[in-house]
Amino acid sequence: MAQQSGISTMSTSVGFVGLGAMGFGMACNLQKGGKYAVKGYDVWQPSVERFVADGGCPGQSPRDVAHDSAFLVCVAANAQQVDSILFDSATGALEALPHNATILLCSTVPPAYYDTLASQIAQLGRSDILVVDCPVSGGTVRAANGTLTIFASGSSEALTRADQILHEMSEKLYEISGGPGAASKVKMVNQCLVGTHIAAAAEAMGLAEKAGLDTREVFEIIKNAAGNSWAFENRVPHMLDADWTPRSALDIFVKDMGIVVSSARSLQFPLPLASAAEQLYIWGSAQGYGREDDSGLVRVFQQNSPVANKDSDSAAPAAALANPTPVTTPLEVSKVGMIGLGAMGQGMASSMIRGGFAVHGYDVYEPAIQKFVSGGGKASAATTPADAAKGAEVLVLMVQNATQATDALFGSGDAAAALPDDAIVILSSTVPPSFVRSLEKRLTGLNRGITLLDAPVSGGVVRAANGNLTIICSGEESTISKANGVLLSMTGLAINLCQVKGGVGAASSVKLINQLLAGVHIAAAAEAMAFAARLGLDTRQIFELLKNAAAWSWMFENRVPQMLEADWTPHSALAIFVKDLGIVLDETKRLTYFAPMSSAAHTLYLAGAAKGWSKEADAGVVRWWEGAGVSVSGSAGKPEPHTTSEAVQAAAQPLPAKETIEALPAEFPHDVLELTKKYVDGGEAPVLVVLDDDPTGTQTCHDIDVLMVWDVETLQSQFERESRGFFILTNSRALPGPEAQNLILEICENVKEAAQRADKRFDVVLRGDSTLRGHLPEEPEAVEQAMGKFDAWVLTPFFLQGGRYTLDDVHYVKEGDVLVPASQTPFAQDATFGYQNSNLRQYILEKCGSRFNESSFLSITIDDIRVGGPQGVKAKLLSRPAGSDGVVIVNAAAESDMDVFVSGLLAAEKEGRRYLYRTAAAFVSSRLGIKGIPPLSMADVQPPTASGSASSHAGGLILAGSYVPKTTAQLKVLRERRQGKLAVVELEVADLIKSAESERAIVNTAAAEANHQISAGKDILVMTSRTLVKTSDAISSLEIGSKVAAALVRLLEQIQVRPRYVIAKGGITSSDAQAFWCRKFSSLPNSRRMFSSVDAPSGHCLHLVKRSSYARMPLNGMNLYKGFSPK
């Protein structure tokens, strides 16, 4: 629920009429906690009985529930039902409402209805009754959770009266100026977009099925491309599963689109897309689908087969490159030819240059060539297409259409003849699939080994320039493998490179589906914004509201800013969608497929072209409605001053480390860590429960327990014996997102129950990676599901030992003498957890979508900490209202900064604030008052001189599964320093994951060698191969890591000689090694699956040295030492 005001509502009576799918959840949510006495009524008796079963009080009629109710909430299907509820002579509620009551109309009704309503209320002499126009959005689950989106309008007095109850029902509450009816106008624009987007999604997925594509592949690709929308991402899974359970019934859009179109008709305002969508919903209802889910609209596009592809293995992402072949490098591709240096081609070519490739570029427009060459690097100018192709092992074509591609290769350009044998042609233009297949035949017919890769791109000019395009590719596996490095230089993250089955032509078919959606979404955005202008709304405010609502689409967010500013700079020309939707309609005609949404949108683009706008921005199609007397830019209020995302990103540049840190204010002069330690040790602070997503979280701690199980009994015992805090090793970073979320939910529910049994207060920390990798927002939202909403999330990725600094909300990684923005490091390219933003505000928005907006953040700055001290931090934290559901970003450049922040934080918690923490390791030690101790050295793991045990003379075992560049560098230094004193066995990862038999043979051989070396008293390093076996699929990458870790554990199981020590390098490797030793020694007396910090007798110890820590951690007869270099 949203933030509440301070008015008490302990005895407030609420009458509630309408206990259907939405109303039932809303009424039940209101009566939780006893703040409201809710009396409910519905015409359908089973709904009333269901409400009573949930603890509600039933009413006999609207008049009955209105009696003595300060508020009357109406959730009716239409305006006629509202009239009946309020004014029926026998049962009407209005005459029974007490003086100064407030009516909340949560239904979607025509805005004009509020004028009639006000007149009727006045005629009955009840001017004391106020009305709030507050249509709701969000579905049944959010209704029950009190997390709806509500648009509210009315008089200032009405909004003040209703403020608290509206906040109780909502997560996002938007007050709209203009009096009753204004909120319904906003809701009408919202529904116009959502209804159009659902219809477009149904049309697109039906076409994908008709074209013979794997529809799950199509969904996974487009939800990461420019064709995405909230409706597409939310409804298509139901289409794929043929699940028509009515989460939102199709008949709702028969009603809502009817309101939209009839309102526009009364204004003589044309809505061609909304009108086409309305007809589709009417048709769907006529087919008997009205009471089923609106995603079932897809069935009107189907003939004999469902959209769900029954041959798909699962609903998991199928769009990723499955071939884990190492990428090609600039050394292997000596030259890339590029034909087409327009708006998109410039960025693509520049990205390849940044990737280290030598690119020979050509364009018919000479200034484009000069612009490309002026960027420097290995860029060179070609005089003709043939010159660009000469000697090029890879030739990229980014031309406007099929005719230009043919001419460049076989016509006047003659590039095909100039290509060397066995070259690869990458066609990245949007062209008909049939053309791509014919082009492949023509190239194959040259009998020179030249192959074609069908690789259309999506993402726009900015993403092309940033090198993070989405590329859809299809063709021969060997061709894709050879071109992989070139493609990745343009996509950045491997997840942006999507391979589809079906050979050449399949990728272009998927691109057409994307273009169908993108083209319809731009036209829909233009139509909706023009309609908002006609309704007298502030179009800039509408954009800000709807980009965070169900009306969102990628194109809405990307194109509407141009409409608001009347900026027709052709980042993407209108002519492109004249062409692309024309190709779509040609393909639907060939397939005899019905495509009304595409046809309506294409007609709008043709109308724009007829106006002479072809070479201007596609967003300029919004000008078509100027003939109806409206202007989107003219109806836009002044923008609020704020730092744009582009400006924020532009500021995130590498900084000189020494100069930057020395320029900061002096550190806070007082040592507050000791005060925190006394506070925590005295039991005044809640017990800190640290959920560690991989085994590196304890690296700044010592003398603390780490649990590896989380049953309620174990947790209760831990709470009863520990007043400070403890870790639970979840290793959730090694799991796919849904599994990690379920795991965190299970643990938190157990922690909550155990703490209640032990009568202990507790705080939860999600200890994650200091380079921002991890499951976000899945893990924090799982904690919230178990424990309710917090006042804010606290984000603190600072970690001094690893060189991780946060300054001005930008997170840096220290590399040598330079602070590098985290998004520009290899960590951000992680196939599983990659990200694009170093500014933590933008990072959260990137990861969490519409959950937050730019007003959600509170920054604790270096000045707040070093100048203001703990009291300054406390005051800053308390400056944000409780329950505001925001994110606190903590800047830090020294361990003392974290100590000061924690001191102020604990003071804010004493004032009743409740936070959820997403942190790196440094926060935990500061919060627990733990001072660091020196890391271990090799001398610490040498055998005692007087010891005669076998293990004291045995060799040590080092396991290295981590593949990141820093680990590779560390292992290089280790081998150089130890030289002949260290035996080395390297496990080839590609062979380990090839088959069970291959893995077994490799592990057996390595284990035999390790046993031999350890017995001989020689240390041995067992390491995985250093070349990253990489896929573009996050799930596959996790599976490879898990398989490698499992192989290393199986190797451990075969170690017959007790090593003098074990070093485990790598998060998953360390976790699995610890778990193995826990199992191995669990038969010892009084053993528990827990790392304990109490010293054990050294004569019975096994030493496990794990990366990134400074702690000694014995486990019932064995000492587990963690050390060496930071993560």
Which residues are the active-site residues? Answer: 187
Could you tell me which residues come within 8 angstroms of residue 645 by beta carbon, excluding any fewer than 6 positions away? Answer: 842, 845
How far apart CA 873 and CA 877 sit, in angstroms, is 6
Residue with tokens 């890769």: 453
Joined tokens for residue 88: 């029926």
Torsion of CA 287, 289, 295, 297, to 10 degrees: 10
On whether the CB atoms of residues 1003 and 1050 are closer than 8 A, the answer is: yes
Could you tell me the CA-to-CA distances from 861 to 655, 770, 801, 875, 897 in Å, in that order? 18, 18, 21, 13, 10
How far apart CA 259 and CA 133 sit, in angstroms, is 16
On whether the CB atoms of residues 1056 and 1073 are closer than 8 A, the answer is: no
On whether the CB atoms of residues 1033 and 1059 are closer than 8 A, the answer is: no
Residue with tokens 């509020």: 114
How far apart CA 558 and CA 215 sit, in angstroms, is 26
Could you tell me which residues come within 8 angstroms of residue 142 by beta carbon, excluding any fewer than 6 positions away? Answer: 25, 148, 149, 171
On whether the CB atoms of residues 185 and 537 are closer than 8 A, the answer is: yes
Strands 57-58, 130-133: pairing is unpaired
How far apart CA 219 and CA 520 sit, in angstroms, is 17
Omega cis (within 30) before 62:
no
Joined tokens for residue 345: 């081609």
Could you tell me which residues come within 8 angstroms of residue 78 by beta carbon, excluding any fewer than 6 positions away? Answer: 107, 109, 255
How far apart CA 837 and CA 133 sit, in angstroms, is 39
Reduce the secondary structure of 405-443 to three states and give it as a string.
Answer: HHHHHHCCCCHHHHCCCCCEEEECCCCCHHHHHHHHHHH
Helix (H) or strand (E) holding 317: none
Joined tokens for residue 625: 């409605």
> For 837, which DSSP code?
-
Joined tokens for residue 926: 């500061």
Planar angle of CA 173, 244, 274, nearest 5 degrees: 60
Planar angle of CA 86, 92, 97, nearest 5 degrees: 75
Joined tokens for residue 1101: 């110890």
Q: Which residue in 1010, 1003, 1095 sits closest to 1057, CA to CA?
A: 1010
Could you tell me the CA-to-CA distances from 614 to 351, 354, 568, 618, 753 in Å, in that order? 28, 32, 11, 8, 64
Distance of CA 760 to the CA centre of its chain: 34
On whether the CB atoms of residues 1108 and 1070 are closer than 8 A, the answer is: no
Strands 1112-1115, 1118-1123: pairing is antiparallel
The tally of CA atoms less than 13 A away on the side-chain side of residue 481 is 9
What strands lie across the sheet with 804-807, from one edge to the other? Answer: 655-656, 818-821, 810-815, 804-807
DSSP letters for 361-397? EE-SSHHHHHHHHHT-SSEEE-SSHHHHHTT-SEEEE
Q: How many helices and strands in the chain, by DSSP H and E?
A: 41, 38
How far apart CA 484 and CA 320 sit, in angstroms, is 13
Treating both helix axes as pointing N-terminal to C-terminal, what angle do 366-374 and 343-354 enclose, rounded to 10 degrees?
Answer: 30
